[in-house]
Amino acid sequence: MANLYDLPDDIQVTAAGGLRIITLNRPDDLNASTTEMLFSYPKLFAALASDPDARVGILTGAGRAFSAGGNMNHFVKTLDDPEFAAHVQENARRTIHGFIDVPIPLIAAVNGPAVGWGATMATLCDIVLMSEKSFLAEPHINIGLVVGDGISVAWPLYTSLLRAKELIFTGDRITPQQAVEFGLANRVVEPEKLMDEALALAEKLLKQPRNALRETKKLMNLHLHRSAAQMLDTTLARQLAATLSNEHHQIASAFIAQQKRKQG
Protein backbone atom coordinates (compact mmCIF):
# COMPACT_ATOMS: atom_id res chain seq x y z
CA MET A 1 0.00 0.00 0.00
CA ALA A 2 1.42 3.39 -1.01
CA ASN A 3 1.99 5.80 1.85
CA LEU A 4 0.53 9.25 1.32
CA TYR A 5 3.39 10.98 3.14
CA ASP A 6 7.14 10.38 3.33
CA LEU A 7 6.99 8.22 6.44
CA PRO A 8 8.16 4.71 7.37
CA ASP A 9 5.87 1.87 6.32
CA ASP A 10 5.11 1.30 10.01
CA ILE A 11 3.04 4.52 9.93
CA GLN A 12 0.63 4.15 7.03
CA VAL A 13 -1.40 7.17 5.90
CA THR A 14 -4.15 6.79 3.32
CA ALA A 15 -6.57 9.37 1.94
CA ALA A 16 -10.30 9.34 1.19
CA GLY A 17 -11.27 12.84 0.16
CA GLY A 18 -10.50 15.11 3.12
CA LEU A 19 -10.06 12.16 5.50
CA ARG A 20 -6.62 10.87 6.47
CA ILE A 21 -6.50 7.40 8.01
CA ILE A 22 -3.32 6.84 10.01
CA THR A 23 -2.58 3.20 10.82
CA LEU A 24 0.15 2.05 13.19
CA ASN A 25 1.37 -0.89 11.16
CA ARG A 26 3.47 -3.31 13.23
CA PRO A 27 0.79 -5.86 14.12
CA ASP A 28 3.26 -8.66 14.92
CA ASP A 29 4.67 -6.51 17.75
CA LEU A 30 1.31 -5.08 18.86
CA ASN A 31 2.15 -1.82 17.03
CA ALA A 32 4.82 -0.95 19.57
CA SER A 33 6.64 2.12 18.29
CA THR A 34 10.20 1.65 17.05
CA THR A 35 12.79 4.40 17.36
CA GLU A 36 12.17 5.27 13.71
CA MET A 37 8.44 5.57 14.33
CA LEU A 38 8.86 7.70 17.43
CA PHE A 39 11.08 10.15 15.60
CA SER A 40 8.65 10.19 12.65
CA TYR A 41 5.57 11.35 14.59
CA PRO A 42 6.56 15.05 14.43
CA LYS A 43 6.98 14.59 10.65
CA LEU A 44 3.49 13.08 10.50
CA PHE A 45 1.96 16.11 12.19
CA ALA A 46 3.93 18.51 9.99
CA ALA A 47 2.66 16.65 6.91
CA LEU A 48 -0.95 16.76 8.12
CA ALA A 49 -0.66 20.46 8.89
CA SER A 50 0.76 21.26 5.45
CA ASP A 51 -1.65 19.02 3.50
CA PRO A 52 -4.18 21.46 1.99
CA ASP A 53 -6.78 18.74 1.49
CA ALA A 54 -6.60 17.15 4.97
CA ARG A 55 -9.62 17.98 7.11
CA VAL A 56 -10.09 15.08 9.57
CA GLY A 57 -7.87 12.21 10.74
CA ILE A 58 -8.49 8.75 12.19
CA LEU A 59 -5.70 7.06 14.17
CA THR A 60 -5.91 3.29 14.65
CA GLY A 61 -3.75 0.17 14.85
CA ALA A 62 -3.33 -2.79 12.52
CA GLY A 63 -4.26 -6.21 13.87
CA ARG A 64 -5.41 -6.80 17.44
CA ALA A 65 -3.69 -3.89 19.22
CA PHE A 66 -3.79 -0.12 19.08
CA SER A 67 -0.25 0.23 20.44
CA ALA A 68 1.74 -1.50 23.17
CA GLY A 69 3.91 1.61 23.64
CA GLY A 70 7.61 1.58 22.74
CA ASN A 71 9.26 -1.57 21.42
CA MET A 72 11.94 -3.56 23.24
CA ASN A 73 14.93 -2.48 21.12
CA HIS A 74 14.09 1.17 21.69
CA PHE A 75 13.63 0.49 25.39
CA VAL A 76 17.08 -1.14 25.65
CA LYS A 77 18.75 1.71 23.76
CA THR A 78 17.46 4.31 26.22
CA LEU A 79 19.06 2.29 29.03
CA ASP A 80 22.46 2.16 27.38
CA ASP A 81 22.78 5.66 25.92
CA PRO A 82 22.03 8.72 28.10
CA GLU A 83 22.48 11.14 25.18
CA PHE A 84 19.96 9.17 23.13
CA ALA A 85 17.55 9.12 26.09
CA ALA A 86 17.72 12.93 26.21
CA HIS A 87 16.94 13.12 22.48
CA VAL A 88 13.96 10.83 23.05
CA GLN A 89 12.56 13.20 25.66
CA GLU A 90 12.92 16.22 23.39
CA ASN A 91 11.23 14.30 20.57
CA ALA A 92 8.39 13.45 22.95
CA ARG A 93 7.89 17.17 23.53
CA ARG A 94 7.58 17.81 19.79
CA THR A 95 5.18 14.90 19.37
CA ILE A 96 2.90 15.94 22.23
CA HIS A 97 2.70 19.46 20.83
CA GLY A 98 2.07 17.87 17.44
CA PHE A 99 -1.07 16.19 18.77
CA ILE A 100 -2.23 19.41 20.41
CA ASP A 101 -1.40 21.74 17.52
CA VAL A 102 -2.24 19.73 14.40
CA PRO A 103 -5.10 21.76 12.91
CA ILE A 104 -7.37 18.88 11.92
CA PRO A 105 -9.45 16.96 14.48
CA LEU A 106 -8.14 13.47 15.20
CA ILE A 107 -10.38 10.53 16.06
CA ALA A 108 -8.75 7.62 17.91
CA ALA A 109 -10.26 4.27 16.90
CA VAL A 110 -8.79 2.21 19.73
CA ASN A 111 -9.10 -1.33 18.42
CA GLY A 112 -7.11 -3.10 21.14
CA PRO A 113 -4.64 -2.51 23.98
CA ALA A 114 -3.30 1.05 24.26
CA VAL A 115 -0.47 0.91 26.79
CA GLY A 116 2.03 3.54 27.92
CA TRP A 117 2.90 5.61 24.86
CA GLY A 118 -0.07 3.95 23.14
CA ALA A 119 -2.39 5.32 25.83
CA THR A 120 -0.81 8.75 25.39
CA MET A 121 -1.45 8.70 21.63
CA ALA A 122 -5.04 7.55 22.05
CA THR A 123 -6.02 10.10 24.66
CA LEU A 124 -4.28 13.05 23.00
CA CYS A 125 -6.63 12.61 20.06
CA ASP A 126 -9.69 14.88 20.03
CA ILE A 127 -12.32 12.13 20.15
CA VAL A 128 -11.67 8.63 21.51
CA LEU A 129 -13.71 5.60 20.44
CA MET A 130 -12.83 2.33 22.17
CA SER A 131 -13.55 -1.20 21.04
CA GLU A 132 -15.03 -3.54 23.63
CA LYS A 133 -11.80 -5.55 23.19
CA SER A 134 -9.52 -2.64 24.06
CA PHE A 135 -8.11 -1.21 27.26
CA LEU A 136 -5.87 1.65 28.41
CA ALA A 137 -2.97 1.38 30.84
CA GLU A 138 -0.19 3.70 32.02
CA PRO A 139 2.37 1.30 33.56
CA HIS A 140 5.55 3.42 33.51
CA ILE A 141 5.72 3.37 37.31
CA ASN A 142 5.86 -0.44 37.29
CA ILE A 143 9.31 -0.31 35.66
CA GLY A 144 10.69 2.53 37.75
CA LEU A 145 9.75 5.43 35.46
CA VAL A 146 7.64 8.48 36.18
CA VAL A 147 4.33 8.98 34.41
CA GLY A 148 4.43 9.15 30.61
CA ASP A 149 4.72 12.55 29.01
CA GLY A 150 1.30 13.29 27.51
CA ILE A 151 -0.61 11.51 30.24
CA SER A 152 0.61 13.92 32.92
CA VAL A 153 -0.65 16.74 30.70
CA ALA A 154 -4.02 15.34 29.67
CA TRP A 155 -5.45 12.89 32.19
CA PRO A 156 -5.85 15.28 35.16
CA LEU A 157 -7.84 17.52 32.79
CA TYR A 158 -10.08 14.73 31.55
CA THR A 159 -10.79 13.05 34.88
CA SER A 160 -10.24 14.18 38.46
CA LEU A 161 -6.72 14.62 39.82
CA LEU A 162 -7.47 11.96 42.43
CA ARG A 163 -8.64 9.50 39.78
CA ALA A 164 -5.64 10.23 37.56
CA LYS A 165 -3.28 9.62 40.49
CA GLU A 166 -4.85 6.25 41.24
CA LEU A 167 -4.64 5.11 37.61
CA ILE A 168 -1.05 6.30 37.26
CA PHE A 169 0.19 5.09 40.68
CA THR A 170 -1.18 1.56 40.17
CA GLY A 171 -0.63 1.12 36.42
CA ASP A 172 -3.89 -0.86 36.38
CA ARG A 173 -5.74 -1.69 33.20
CA ILE A 174 -8.65 0.60 32.41
CA THR A 175 -11.52 -1.13 30.66
CA PRO A 176 -13.27 0.75 27.85
CA GLN A 177 -16.34 1.14 30.05
CA GLN A 178 -14.19 2.61 32.84
CA ALA A 179 -12.43 4.89 30.35
CA VAL A 180 -15.78 6.39 29.33
CA GLU A 181 -16.92 6.65 32.97
CA PHE A 182 -13.66 8.37 33.96
CA GLY A 183 -13.73 10.80 31.02
CA LEU A 184 -10.77 9.29 29.13
CA ALA A 185 -12.86 8.14 26.16
CA ASN A 186 -16.08 9.17 24.43
CA ARG A 187 -17.80 5.85 23.91
CA VAL A 188 -17.46 2.07 23.65
CA VAL A 189 -18.15 0.39 20.31
CA GLU A 190 -18.58 -3.24 19.27
CA PRO A 191 -15.27 -4.39 17.74
CA GLU A 192 -16.68 -5.12 14.29
CA LYS A 193 -18.34 -1.69 14.18
CA LEU A 194 -15.40 0.41 15.40
CA MET A 195 -14.11 1.65 12.05
CA ASP A 196 -17.63 2.16 10.71
CA GLU A 197 -18.39 4.34 13.74
CA ALA A 198 -15.14 6.27 13.31
CA LEU A 199 -15.82 6.79 9.60
CA ALA A 200 -19.38 7.95 10.28
CA LEU A 201 -18.12 10.44 12.85
CA ALA A 202 -15.41 11.62 10.45
CA GLU A 203 -18.06 12.15 7.79
CA LYS A 204 -19.99 14.41 10.18
CA LEU A 205 -16.88 16.46 10.86
CA LEU A 206 -16.05 16.69 7.16
CA LYS A 207 -19.40 18.41 6.64
CA GLN A 208 -18.59 21.11 9.19
CA PRO A 209 -17.18 24.46 8.00
CA ARG A 210 -13.44 23.85 7.63
CA ASN A 211 -12.03 27.00 9.22
CA ALA A 212 -14.58 27.12 12.03
CA LEU A 213 -13.74 23.52 12.97
CA ARG A 214 -10.00 24.20 12.93
CA GLU A 215 -10.30 27.36 15.00
CA THR A 216 -12.60 25.62 17.47
CA LYS A 217 -10.09 22.81 17.95
CA LYS A 218 -7.36 25.41 18.49
CA LEU A 219 -9.53 27.18 21.07
CA MET A 220 -10.49 24.01 22.97
CA ASN A 221 -6.89 22.83 23.02
CA LEU A 222 -5.82 25.95 24.89
CA HIS A 223 -6.69 23.86 27.96
CA LEU A 224 -4.06 21.30 26.92
CA HIS A 225 -1.59 24.06 26.07
CA ARG A 226 -1.92 25.54 29.56
CA SER A 227 -1.48 22.12 31.12
CA ALA A 228 1.56 21.41 28.92
CA ALA A 229 3.07 24.78 29.87
CA GLN A 230 2.75 23.83 33.55
CA MET A 231 3.64 20.14 33.35
CA LEU A 232 5.70 19.15 30.35
CA ASP A 233 9.16 20.54 31.17
CA THR A 234 9.10 19.01 34.63
CA THR A 235 7.60 15.75 33.41
CA LEU A 236 10.27 15.27 30.75
CA ALA A 237 13.11 16.25 33.10
CA ARG A 238 11.93 13.81 35.76
CA GLN A 239 11.30 11.11 33.20
CA LEU A 240 14.87 11.48 31.91
CA ALA A 241 16.23 11.34 35.47
CA ALA A 242 14.18 8.21 36.13
CA THR A 243 15.39 6.63 32.86
CA LEU A 244 18.99 7.06 34.05
CA SER A 245 18.31 5.95 37.65
CA ASN A 246 19.61 2.78 39.29
CA GLU A 247 16.05 1.82 40.26
CA HIS A 248 14.88 1.80 36.66
CA HIS A 249 18.02 0.03 35.43
CA GLN A 250 17.62 -2.77 37.96
CA ILE A 251 13.94 -3.31 37.15
CA ALA A 252 14.45 -2.96 33.40
CA SER A 253 17.47 -5.28 33.31
CA ALA A 254 15.52 -7.97 35.16
CA PHE A 255 12.58 -7.50 32.77
CA ILE A 256 14.80 -7.74 29.69
CA ALA A 257 16.49 -10.88 31.02
CA GLN A 258 13.06 -12.41 31.66
CA GLN A 259 11.95 -11.60 28.11
CA LYS A 260 15.11 -13.17 26.67
CA ARG A 261 14.49 -16.36 28.66
CA LYS A 262 10.93 -16.51 27.33
CA GLN A 263 12.22 -16.16 23.78
CA GLY A 264 14.48 -19.14 24.32
What is the reported pLDDT for 148? 78
Do residues 105 and 205 make contact, with C-beta atoms less than 8 angstroms apart?
Answer: yes
Q: What is the mean pLDDT of the chain?
A: 96
State the pLDDT confidence band at 1, using cuts at 50, 70 and 90: low
Domain ranges across the chain: 11-192+210-262
What is the reported pLDDT for 264? 67
State the pLDDT confidence band at 261, using cuts at 50, 70 and 90: confident
State the pLDDT confidence band at 143, using cuts at 50, 70 and 90: very high
- Express each pLDDT in 46-84 by its tens digit: 999 999 999 999 999 999 999 999 888 887 888 889 999
Over residues 16-22, mean pLDDT? 98
Among 262, 252, 237, 30, which Cα is nearest to 144's?
252
Asked whether residue 237 carries a pLDDT value surpassing 90, the answer given is yes
Over residues 148-153, mean pLDDT? 90
State the pLDDT confidence band at 206, using cuts at 50, 70 and 90: very high
Over residues 212-230, mean pLDDT? 98
Pick the CATH number of 11-192+210-262 from 3.90.226.10, 3.90.170.10, 3.40.50.300, 3.40.50.10320: 3.90.226.10
Asked whether residue 20 carries a pLDDT value surpassing 90, the answer given is yes
What is the reported pLDDT for 225? 97
State the pLDDT confidence band at 149, using cuts at 50, 70 and 90: confident
What is the reported pLDDT for 258? 84
What is the reported pLDDT for 257? 84
Q: State percent of the chain over pLDDT 70.
A: 99
Asked whether residue 250 carries a pLDDT value surpassing 70, the answer given is yes
Spell out the SS3 assignment of the chain.
CCCCCCCCCCEEEEEECCEEEEEECCHHHCCCECHHHHCCHHHHHHHHHHCCCCCEEEEEECCCCCECCECHHHHHHHHHCHHHHHHHHHHHHHHHHHHHHCCCCEEEEECCEEECHHHHHHHCCCEEEEECCCEEECCHHHHCCCCCHHHHHHHHHHCCHHHHHHHHHHCCCECHHHHHHHCCCCEEECHHHHHHHHHHHHHHHHCCCHHHHHHHHHHHCHHHHHHHHHHHHHHHHHHHHHHCCHHHHHHHHHHHHHHHHHCC
